[in-house]
């Protein structure tokens, strides 16, 4: 299926590795030019070079921190100059602080602040500076990566669930306000996606990975491409009548009927 988005430009935030990088590749495979944003300048430049070489699209790396307004201003200036603003905005973010804790043990104000800054305020900073650049184009797609915890809170994930729910509410407001500009706004809510790209304390142990597979009727973890394919679909022409929605990619973990 031709998604009809070849030649568009997408900004993908938090895209030096993991899901953000894979989303950038998936859009580039559809002929979309990329602007990548994350803190690790060298890694980000290498990802941009890899994308340009593999998919034959333009790929630009802008190094910066999503929590820092001056960095987002610099990103906006680059986007304005390069393409007058992106057509597609994918709001991926960093993760909540580790380790995960039970809610009554989650007492450290610094961890709450970090979770808020990383997952919610960073999205708001990007939206308030970048989305105005998209509104004069008459067409646009905004897709935020949240978590299936907004539908069914996962054990010990309050630091994530609270702010992903905030992102979901913020995106719903945005969808209502800018739909008349031809811009759709949706969320993709993953859970139990393979994170073997990460190593060290952030990754799940082999035993935990086995346990997590049993949380879904499918009995397996989701693949990165099952998330990136959903994002690419929401960015497509065919998804033009979907807005203000959340699409879960969680293998049936969520028990709710709708």
Site for ligand NAP, rule CB under 6 A:
14-20, 38-40, 43, 65-67, 92-95, 118, 122, 145, 147, 190-193, 195, 198
What sign has the CA pseudo-torsion 256, 238, 218, 246?
negative
Distance in Å, CB of 3 to ligand NAP, minimum: 22
Nearer to ligand NAP, 32 or 144 (CB): 144
* First CA to last CA distance, the chain: 27
Distance in Å, CB of 240 to ligand NAP, minimum: 25
Distance in Å, CB of 256 to ligand NAP, minimum: 17
Nearer to ligand NAP, 192 or 231 (CB): 192
Rg (CA), the chain: 17
Inter-CA distances, 54 with 2, 12, 36, 57, 223, Å: 19, 17, 15, 8, 21
Nearer to ligand NAP, 65 or 152 (CB): 65
What sign has the CA pseudo-torsion 137, 66, 109, 144?
positive
Nearer to ligand NAP, 149 or 178 (CB): 149
Distance in Å, CB of 66 to ligand NAP, minimum: 4
* Residue 235: Cβ within 10 Å count: 29
């Amino acid at each position: 299926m031709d998604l009809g988005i070849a030649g568009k430009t997408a900004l993908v935030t938090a895209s030096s590795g993991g899901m953000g990088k894979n989303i950038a590749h998936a859009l580039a495979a559809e002929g979309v030019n990329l602007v990548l944003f994350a803190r690790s300048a060298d890694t980000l430049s290498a990802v941009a070079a890899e994308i340009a070489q593999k998919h034959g699209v333009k790929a630009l790396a802008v190094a910066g921190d999503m929590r820092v307004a001056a960095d987002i201003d610099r990103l906006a200036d680059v986007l304005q100059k390069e393409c007058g603003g992106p057509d597609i905005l994918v709001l991926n973010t960093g993760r909540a602080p580790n380790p995960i804790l039970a809610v009554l043990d989650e007492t450290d104000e610094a961890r709450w602040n970090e979770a808020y800054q990383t997952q919610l305020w960073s999205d708001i900073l990007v939206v308030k500076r970048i989305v105005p650049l998209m509104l004069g184009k008459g067409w646009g797609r905004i897709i935020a990566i949240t978590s299936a915890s907004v539908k069914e809170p996962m054990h010990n994930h309050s630091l994530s669930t609270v702010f992903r729910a905030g992102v979901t509410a913020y995106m719903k407001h945005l969808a209502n306000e800018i739909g008349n500009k031809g811009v759709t706004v949706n969320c993709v809510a993953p859970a139990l996606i393979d994170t073997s790209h990460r190593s060290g304390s952030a990754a799940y142990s082999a035993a935990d990975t086995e346990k997590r597979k049993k949380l879904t009727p499918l009995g397996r973890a989701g693949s990165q491409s099952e998330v990136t394919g959903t994002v690419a679909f929401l960015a497509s022409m065919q998804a033009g009548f979907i807005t203000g929605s959340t699409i879960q990619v969680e293998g049936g973990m969520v028990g709710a009927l709708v």
